[in-house]
Amino acid sequence: MSQPAQQHLDHVRTYLASAFEIPEGELTGDRTFESLELDSIAQVEMFVTLSDHYGIHLDDSLANGEMTLRQTAELITEALEGVGRQRQDSGSPVPQG
């Protein structure tokens, strides 16, 4: 897992611990939404919150019970890289960090 993806995983873990009162020690990268007992509404809520936080679009239709926290972090990383490429192509400044 890349360093940015690890940072995004850490953010996902912090968010879930806070929003759903799940002990952070239980929030390993290989945990699925289903194993955390997060229903589809909670998954969509999480994707919307993460989209807002990062200023990206995460397609909440991709969220399903079998998705892991690591896969979620990787989606965030890919979306941010896509935004960076779009800004480079358009000549807009690319955010750092």
**pLDDT, tens digit, for every residue of 5-62?**
999 999 999 999 999 999 999 999 999 999 999 999 999 999 999 999 999 999 989 8
The closest alpha carbon to 69, from 26, 27, 18, 25, belongs to: 27
Beta strands in 5-46 (DSSP E): none
The closest alpha carbon to 79, from 16, 1, 5, belongs to: 5
**pLDDT, tens digit, for every residue of 78-96?**
999 886 555 555 555 555 5
Distance of CA 34 to the CA centre of its chain: 16
Secondary structure (3-state) at 96? coil
Q: Which residue bears the tokens 């358009």? A: 90
Asked if residue 65 lies in contact with residue 84, where contact means CB atoms within 8 angstroms, the answer is: no
